[in-house]
C-alpha cells in the first residue's frame, strides 16, 4: 500500500512538472491569439541593451502583453509598461548625467549658503546612533534616481495595481531578512523600480510593506516563471548578464559585485531559461555593469542582436497573426507641465518642523505648480541637509494631493577631513554635527583641527529663511606665522587668536545672506625676535567689533567652477571698549571685499576673474588689524589675510591691499586641470593716496590639478617680482 502511494505521488508530481513545463505550448491550443510576455534581466548599465531590442520589437509591431524585469530590466520594463516607446526610453537614457544621477549630489544652488562652506570639506561622514558611529546601509540613498522615476511616471502615481498598467508589469526584489525573492506587482511604481535595482552596498535598501528590499538580481535575475504565471503563453527573454567569470577576469570591485550576484542567482536562471521560447543575449561581454557612459553603444548592441532575430519574430507574428496592441503612448512630462495642487501632506516628519520643510518647498495650496517648481522645492528640502531623502507622490485626477515623503537624516554625524599644503603642512579635521538641538532647524557643530597649528571652533546656527536667523561662534586658533625680509624668512612667531561671535542674518534664494553682528576678539603674539615694521616681540589685547556683511555664493562647484559667482563684503568697526579705539575718539574702520566670477568660454575653458581688497581707516591701527598679503590657501581663519599668487602666506604687511587676479582654467581631460594664475596688486598705507602712491606687486603661477575623491591635488610653480627665483606650492585635499 505504501509503495502504491509513493508511486502514485511520483506519477502526479511528474505530470504536474510536465504540465508546467509545456505551459507555453499547451495553452496555444485553445486560444486564437497567444499572449506574448517579455522578460528583461538585470545587469547594471548593460541593461541599456534592452532598449535596442525593444526598438526592433516596436519596429516589427510585435505585441507585448506582459512584462517582467529585474534591476535595470525593471527600470526599462516599467517605463515601457506605462506607454513609453523604445525611442522615448532611449532619449531619456541618453539625456541623463549618470554620474550625478547615481549619486545623492544636489546642485550647490539648492544648498543654504551657511552650509556651502561645509559642503565639500569632508572625505568621510558617518551617522552617530545610540550604539555609536555606524556605517551607512549603502553608499547612495538613491535620492536622484527615485526623483527621476517619480517625474517620469507622475501620471501613474495613483495606479497601485501594476496589472492594470497599459501593459501588465511586475518586477523582482530580494527580501534581505529571509533571502527570498519578492514579486512586486502592486504599490507605488517608482519605489518598486528603485527597490528592484538596489544593488547591495551601493544603493541603500528600500522598505516596502515591512520588508527590507534590495536588488532582485541576487535571487531571480530572469523571472520567466513569474511571467508565465501572469498569463504569458510565449516568452521572449533578453539576458544582459555576463555570466560567471574566471578569476583572471575579476579585475575590479564592479566585477566582484557582478560575480557575487551572478553566482547567487545562477540556479534560478538555469531553471527559468528552460521556459523561455525566444532567448536573446546581446554581445556585450566587453562592457561592465558600470558602463553608463557607453549607453549609446550598448543600445546599438541590443538593436544589432535583435535584428538577427527578425526572421524568428516575423515567423511568430505570421504564425499567430499577431497585431500590435493599441496602447496610448505616454508623452514624457516636461519642466513646464503644470498640476493643480488642492492639498499637501507630509509623511516622515519627526524632529524637523512642518514649517521648516514647507518653507523649503515653498509650495502653495489651491494653485498651479510646474514640474520644474516641484523639483526645485524637492531639491531645496534635500539640500537643507536635514533629510536623507525627499520624494513625492501626486494623487488625484484634476485636483491633486501632493504627498511629500521624507526620511530625516540622523541628527548626529561624525565627519573627517584630511589636508596638506606647503604653508600649513598636514592636518586632520574631526567634526561632530548635531541638528535640531534646542530648536527645529538648528545646527550645532564642533570642529577640531589636529595640526602643527591647531584650531577649535564651535558654531550654533538657526536657519529661519527670510526671517532673521541666529549664528553663534566660538573659536580658538594657535598658528605659526612667519616674518619676511626681501622675500626671505627671518623668523616666526606664535599667533593665538580667540573669538566669540554672534550675528543675526537673513537668507534668501539659498545663495544670498545679509547680516549684522558683534564679536569679542583676543589676540596674543609671542616671538623671540622683533621687526620694526611688523609687530613687537610680545603683544596682546582684547577688541570689541561690530560688523555688517553681505555673502553671495552661486558657484556650481566649490572647486574649479565653470559658472556662478561669489562675493563676500564686510564692514566693521573696531574698538577697545565698545565705543572707540585707543588714541582715537571713534572706532577704527575695516572694509573687506572678495569677489570671484566664473565665466565659461567653452565646455573645457573657463576664465575666472577675482578681486581681493582690504581697507583700514584710523590712526595707530594695531598690527592685528593690518593687511597681510600673500599665499594661495583658501582658509578663513583670519580676515587679515589677502591671497596673492607668487608670495608666501601673509608675506607682506601693509595697511591697505588691493589685488586683481585672473585664473585661466582649462580642463585637459576629465577632472584634470591646467590653470594659469596671473595677479597684480597695490599696497598702500593711506587709502586716500591709493591712485598716486603705493607699491605695485606682480605674480604669476601655473597649476596642474586633479579633482579627486579626497579633494584637489595640486602642484604649482610660482614667480613674483618680490622674490628671487621660482617657488613651488603643493596642496592635497579639501580646504578646511
Active site residues: 71, 215
Distance between CA atoms of 659 and 592, rounded to whole angstroms? Answer: 12
Rounded distance between C-alpha atoms, residue 675 and residue 664, angstroms? 5
End-to-end CA gap in the chain: 83
The C-alpha cell 608675506 sits at: 651
From residue 610, how far is each of 71, 561, 598 by CA, in Å?
Answer: 48, 13, 9
Contacts of 125 (CB under 8 A, 6+ apart): 413, 414, 415, 416
Measured CA to CA, the distance from residue 435 to residue 459 in angstroms comes to 12
Roughly what angle, to the nearest 10 degrees, separates helices 72-81 and 49-60? 30
Please, what's the largest Cα pairwise distance for the chain? Answer: 119
Is 60:310 a contact under the CB 8 Å cutoff?
yes
Tell me the β-bridge partners of 556. Answer: none
The CA–CA distances, whole Å, from 457 to 112, 432, 433, 448, 473 equal: 20, 11, 12, 7, 7
- Distance CA(434)–CA(411), nearest Å, equals 5
- Crossing angle of helices 72-81 and 189-196, in 10° steps, is 160
CB atoms inside a 10 Å sphere around CB 165: 20
C-alpha cell at 222: 530572469
The helix (run of H) or strand (run of E) holding residue 441 is: none
In contact, 496 and 475? CB cutoff 8 Å: no
The three cell numbers of residue 92 are 531619456
Residue 210 DSSP symbol: T
Q: Is the dihedral of CA 449, 454, 459, 465 positive or negative?
A: negative
- The position carrying cell 507574428 is 317
Q: Please state, in angstroms and rounded to a whole number, the distance separating the CA atoms of residues 53 and 238.
A: 8
- Whether the CB-CB separation of 92 and 61 falls below 8 Å is answered with no
Contact 122, 431 (CB under 8 A): yes
Reading the block at residue 628, the C-alpha cell is 597681510
Rounded to 5 degrees, φ, ψ at 158 are -80, -20
SS3 for 155-215, per residue? HHCCCCEHHHCCCCEEEEEEECCCCCEEEECECCHHHHHHHHCCCCEEECCEEECCEEEEE
Nearest to 104 by CA among 409, 514, 436: 409
DSSP 8-state class, residue 77: H
The answer for residues whose C-beta is within 8 angstroms of residue 118's C-beta and 6 or more apart is 431, 433, 445
What is the C-alpha to C-alpha distance for residues 644 and 346, in angstroms, rounded to an integer? 50
Of the candidates 345, 341, 391, the one whose C-alpha atom is nearest the C-alpha of residue 369 is: 341
Beta bridge partners of 644: 631
CA pair distance 570, 595, nearest whole angstrom: 12
The label of the residue with cell 598636514 reads: 426
Phi/psi of residue 545, each to 5°?
-125, 135
Question: What cell was used for 335?
Answer: 519642466
Q: Tell me the three cell numbers of residue 487.
A: 622675500
Amino acid at each position: 500500500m505504501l509503495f502504491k502511494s509513493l508511486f502514485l505521488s511520483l506519477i502526479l508530481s511528474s505530470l504536474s512538472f510536465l504540465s508546467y513545463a509545456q505551459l507555453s505550448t499547451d495553452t496555444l491550443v485553445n486560444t486564437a491569439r497567444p499572449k506574448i510576455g517579455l522578460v528583461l534581466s538585470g545587469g547594471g548599465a548593460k541593461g541599456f541593451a534592452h532598449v535596442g531590442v525593444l526598438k526592433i520589437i516596436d519596429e516589427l509591431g510585435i505585441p507585448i502583453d506582459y512584462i517582467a524585469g529585474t534591476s535595470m530590466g525593471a527600470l526599462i520594463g516599467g517605463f515601457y509598461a506605462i506607454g513609453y516607446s523604445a525611442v522615448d526610453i532611449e532619449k531619456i537614457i541618453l539625456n541623463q548625467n549618470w554620474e550625478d544621477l547615481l549619486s545623492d549630489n544636489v546642485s550647490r544652488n539648492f544648498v543654504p549658503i551657511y552650509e556651502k562652506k561645509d559642503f565639500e570639506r569632508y572625505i568621510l561622514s558617518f551617522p552617530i546612533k545610540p550604539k555609536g558611529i555606524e556605517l551607512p546601509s549603502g553608499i547612495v540613498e538613491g535620492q536622484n534616481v527615485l526623483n527621476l522615476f517619480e517625474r517620469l511616471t507622475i501620471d501613474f502615481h495613483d495606479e497601485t495595481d501594476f496589472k492594470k498598467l497599459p501593459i501588465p508589469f511586475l518586477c523582482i526584489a530580494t527580501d534581505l531578512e529571509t533571502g527570498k525573492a519578492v514579486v512586486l506587482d502592486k504599490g507605488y511604481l517608482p519605489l518598486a523600480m528603485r527597490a528592484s535595482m538596489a544593488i547591495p552596498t551601493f544603493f541603500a535598501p528600500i522598505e516596502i510593506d515591512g520588508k527590507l528590499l534590495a536588488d532582485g538580481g541576487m535571487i531571480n535575475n530572469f523571472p520567466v516563471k513569474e511571467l508565465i504565471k501572469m498569463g504569458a503563453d510565449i516568452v521572449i527573454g533578453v539576458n544582459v548578464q555576463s555570466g560567471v567569470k574566471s578569476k583572471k577576469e575579476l579585475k575590479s570591485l564592479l566585477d566582484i559585485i557582478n560575480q557575487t550576484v551572478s553566482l547567487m542567482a545562477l540556479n534560478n536562471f538555469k531553471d527559468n531559461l528552460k521556459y523561455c521560447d525566444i532567448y536573446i543575449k546581446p554581445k556585450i561581454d566587453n562592457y561592465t555593469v558600470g558602463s553608463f557612459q557607453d549607453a549609446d553603444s550598448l543600445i546599438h548592441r541590443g538593436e544589432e542582436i535583435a535584428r538577427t532575430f527578425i526572421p524568428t519574430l516575423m515567423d511568430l507574428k505570421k504564425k499567430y497573426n499577431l497585431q500590435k496592441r493599441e496602447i496610448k503612448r505616454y508623452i514624457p512630462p516636461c519642466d513646464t507641465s503644470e498640476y493643480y495642487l488642492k492639498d499637501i501632506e507630509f509623511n516622515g516628519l519627526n524632529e524637523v518642523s512642518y514649517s521648516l520643510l514647507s518653507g523649503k518647498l515653498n509650495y502653495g495650496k489651491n494653485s498651479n505648480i510646474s514640474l520644474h517648481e516641484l523639483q526645485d522645492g524637492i531639491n531645496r528640502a534635500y539640500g537643507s541637509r536635514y533629510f536623507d531623502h525627499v520624494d513625492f507622490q501626486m494623487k488625484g485626477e484634476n485636483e491633486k494631493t501632493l504627498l511629500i515623503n521624507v526620511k530625516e537624516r540622523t541628527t548626529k554625524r561624525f565627519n573627517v577631513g584630511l589636508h596638506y599644503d606647503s604653508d600649513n603642512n598636514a592636518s586632520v579635521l574631526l567634526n561632530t554635527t548635531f541638528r535640531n538641538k534646542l530648536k527645529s532647524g538648528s545646527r550645532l557643530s564642533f570642529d577640531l583641527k589636529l595640526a602643527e597649528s591647531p584650531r577649535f571652533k564651535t558654531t550654533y546656527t538657526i536657519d529661519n529663511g527670510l526671517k532673521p536667523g541666529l549664528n553663534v561662534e566660538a573659536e580658538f586658533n594657535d598658528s605659526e606665522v612667519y616674518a619676511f625680509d626681501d622675500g626671505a624668512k627671518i623668523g616666526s612667531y606664535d599667533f593665538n587668536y580667540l573669538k566669540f561671535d554672534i550675528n543675526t542674518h537673513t537668507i534668501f534664494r539659498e545663495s544670498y545672506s545679509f547680516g549684522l553682528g558683534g564679536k569679542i576678539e583676543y589676540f596674543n603674539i609671542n616671538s623671540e625676535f622683533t621687526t620694526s615694521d611688523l609687530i613687537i616681540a610680545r603683544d596682546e589685547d582684547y577688541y570689541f567689533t561690530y560688523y555688517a556683511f553681505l555673502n553671495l555664493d552661486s558657484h556650481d562647484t566649490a572647486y574649479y567652477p565653470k559658472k556662478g559667482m561669489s562675493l563676500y563684503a564686510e564692514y566693521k568697526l573696531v574698538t577697545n571698549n565698545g565705543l572707540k579705539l585707543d588714541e582715537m575718539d571713534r572706532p577704527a574702520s575695516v572694509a573687506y571685499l572678495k569677489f570671484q566670477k566664473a565665466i565659461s568660454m567653452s565646455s573645457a575653458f573657463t576664465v575666472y576673474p577675482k578681486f581681493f581688497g582690504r581697507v583700514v581707516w584710523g590712526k595707530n591701527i594695531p598690527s592685528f588689524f593690518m593687511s597681510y598679503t600673500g599665499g594661495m590657501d583658501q582658509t578663513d581663519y583670519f580676515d587679515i589675510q589677502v591671497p596673492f599668487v607668487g608670495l608666501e602666506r601673509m608675506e607682506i604687511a601693509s595697511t591697505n591691499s588691493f589685488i586683481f587676479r585672473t585664473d585661466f582654467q582649462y580642463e585637459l581631460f576629465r577632472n584634470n586641470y591646467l590653470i594659469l594664475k596671473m595677479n597684480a596688486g597695490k599696497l598702500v598705507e593711506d587709502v586716500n593716496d591709493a591712485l598716486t602712491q603705493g607699491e605695485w606687486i606682480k605674480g604669476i603661477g601655473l597649476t596642474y590639478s586633479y579633482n579627486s575623491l579626497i579633494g584637489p591635488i595640486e602642484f604649482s610653480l610660482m614667480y613674483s617680482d618680490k622674490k628671487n627665483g621660482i617657488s613651488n606650492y603643493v596642496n592635497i585635499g579639501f580646504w578646511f
